[in-house]
């Protein structure tokens, strides 16, 4: 991040109220450089969320819809290996974490990759119920998952998402923090990922897992994850 001396105090003050981004892709335990393999997001400075689940920015939230993808690297990752996203601070809002993948045509750094009904969910972490409240570990700074061993080799996008739910009791209140990594998957198999969904399109915003008051849950409440089932290969 470039910060001039004059704006430093202002920037430091802004950070205290800021949210977060997922600038670093993690490959087998090692975090890579900011925005090296994750498409730089429009909130790279503000850290603010996307709240319109029907908007184009809900896909990958690129800084520039045509220039960001080709300017971002493509990581080579083996099917069956562990990858993930590291945030620029604690993921301090309680919420739901998910990772979606999409085959990327013609390449992982193509601006149009992932614009069809091509996405499948590969991992999720549900918030937990504590009495009448929904919580999650708000001290974590990263999340990782395993690329299914049977995923066919080829170019893909990997989209990490957190739906922060602290103000989700009115429509559009859920806050989405998003990052898309560009990868070539090697050593894969012949699995058929499903079900396939579009992003945007996967959520309406009215799902019980996205529109709820996490501070006043009814007795016996069970969190219902939004979106499709996980494909685990
Ligand atoms: C990714 O795979 C494509 C072929 O699908 C290849 O042309 C490209 O060079 C690969 N990129 C990297 C960085 O390995
Ligand atoms: C669960 O709720 C209790 C009472 O509000 C609180 O003291 C405790 O820290 C919570 N535990 C977790 C894991 O959030
Ligand atoms: Cu926030």
Closest approach atom of ligand 2 to CA 135: 14
Rounded average pLDDT over 192-207: 98
Helix, strand, coil shares, percent, the chain, to 5: 5, 30, 60
What are the residues facing 155 on neighbouring strands?
Answer: 184
C-beta 218 within 6 A of ligand 2: no
Rounded average pLDDT over 145-160: 98
CA distance 230 to 180: 18
Tens digits of per-residue pLDDT, 100-125? 999 999 999 999 999 999 999 999 99
Q: In this model, does residue 40 exceed pLDDT 80?
A: yes
**Domains of the chain in sequence order:** 20-186 (2.70.50.70)
- Closest C-alpha residue for ligand 1 atom 13: 74
**For the chain, what is the largest distance between any 2 Cα atoms, rounded to a whole number of angstroms?**
55
Q: In this model, does residue 194 exceed pLDDT 80?
A: yes
Rounded average pLDDT over 14-27: 81
Rounded average pLDDT over 52-71: 98
Query: Confidence class of residue 216 from pLDDT cuts 50, 70 and 90?
Result: very high
CA distance 138 to 90: 7
Task: Read off the pTM.
Answer: 0.92
Measured distance between the N- and C-terminal CA atoms of the chain, rounded to whole angstroms: 38
DSSP 113: T
pLDDT score, position 219: 95
Nearby residues of 213 by Cβ (< 8 Å), 6 or more positions away: 168, 169
Rounded average pLDDT over 145-150: 98
Decide the pairing of beta strands 142-146 and 82-86: antiparallel
Contact present, 37 and 72 (Cβ < 8 Å):
yes
Q: Which of 115, 146, 162, 156 is nearest to 231 (CA)?
A: 146
pLDDT score, position 17: 55
Laid out side by side, the sheet with 82-86 consists of: 30-31, 24-27, 82-86, 142-146
Query: Confidence class of residue 10 from pLDDT cuts 50, 70 and 90?
Result: very low
Q: Give the mutation target among 135, 216, 217 for probing the ligand 2 site: most ligand atoms within 8 A of CB.
A: 135
Query: Confidence class of residue 9 from pLDDT cuts 50, 70 and 90?
Result: very low
Q: Where are the alpha helices (DSSP H) in the chain?
A: 8-17, 57-60
Nearby residues of 86 by Cβ (< 8 Å), 6 or more positions away: 22, 23, 24, 25, 26, 31, 141, 142
Contact present, 107 and 74 (Cβ < 8 Å):
yes
Token code pair at residue 194: 């499903």
In angstroms, what is the span from residue 1 Cα to ligand 1's centroid?
A: 28
Using only C-alpha atoms, the chain has a radius of gyration, in whole angstroms, of 17
Q: In this model, does residue 127 exceed pLDDT 90?
A: yes
Q: In this model, does residue 3 exceed pLDDT 90?
A: no
C-beta 131 within 6 A of ligand 2: yes
Contact present, 156 and 103 (Cβ < 8 Å):
yes
In angstroms, what is the span from residue 139 Cα to ligand 3's centroid?
A: 14
């Amino acid at each position: 991040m470039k910060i001039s001396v004059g704006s430093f105090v202002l920037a430091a003050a802004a950070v205290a109220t800021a949210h977060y981004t997922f600038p670093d892709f993690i490959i087998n335990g090692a975090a890579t450089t900011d925005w090296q393999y994750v498409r730089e997001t429009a909130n790279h400075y503000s850290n603010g969320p996307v709240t319109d689940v029907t908007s184009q920015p809900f896909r990958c939230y690129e800084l520039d819809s045509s220039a960001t993808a080709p300017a971002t690297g493509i990581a080579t990752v083996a099917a069956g290996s562990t990858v993930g996203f590291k945030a620029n601070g604690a993921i301090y809002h309680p919420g739901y974490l998910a990772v979606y993948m999409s085959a990327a045509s013609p390449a992982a750094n193509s601006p149009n990759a992932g614009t069809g009904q091509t996405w499948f969910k590969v991992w999720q972490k549900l918030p937990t119920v504590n009495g009448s409240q929904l919580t999650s570990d708000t001290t974590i700074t990263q999340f990782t998952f395993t690329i299914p061993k049977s995923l066919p080799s080829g170019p893909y996008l990997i989209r990490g998402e957190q739906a922060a739910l602290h103000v989700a009791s009115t429509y559009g209140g859920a806050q989405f923090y998003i990052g898309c990594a560009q990868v070539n998957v090697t050593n894969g198999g012949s699995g058929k990922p499903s079900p396939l969904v579009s992003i945007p399109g996967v959520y309406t915003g009215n799902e019980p897992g996205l529109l709820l008051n996490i501070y006043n849950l009814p007795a016996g409440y069970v969190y219902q994850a939004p979106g499709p089932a996980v494909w685990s290969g």
